Amino acid sequence: MPSKPLRPCNKAGCARLTRERYCDDHKQLNNSYDMYRGTAAQRGYNARWRKARASYLSQHPICIRCGHVATVVDHIIAHKGDMHLFWTVSNWQSLCNTCHNRKTATEDGGFGR
């Protein structure tokens, strides 16, 4: 059976080739971040959030940036584990997926950072 082709490590600036997402040097760094971050449910994105999100999107169905159909309820100010800020509705905004991805990458320091 053929093996996966070698490709560069996903760690920024690392040119080592690997068959996985990260080379051996950066595999542990990525795993420790994921362990620290916790699961989506541990971060508050549970059934209660899904219900609140659906309600908010039904009341605010348009992306505030581009005018397309909103699919994401975004926290204007990143809550970083602060559950009071997480549940503050005035800190929520409706975004389409494209605008949310752009905001996360530019304003919040990128995905997973």
Q: Which residue has the tokens 């040119």?
A: 15
pLDDT score for 76: 95
pLDDT score for 56: 98
pLDDT score for 2: 67
Contact 88, 77 (CB under 8 A): no
Rounded Cα distance between 24 and 83, Å, is: 36
Contact 97, 71 (CB under 8 A): yes
pLDDT tens sequence for the chain (113 residues)? 567 889 898 888 888 999 888 888 877 765 555 566 778 888 889 999 999 999 999 999 999 999 999 999 999 998 888 999 999 999 999 999 999 999 988 886 655 54
Rounded Cα distance between 22 and 86, Å, is: 32
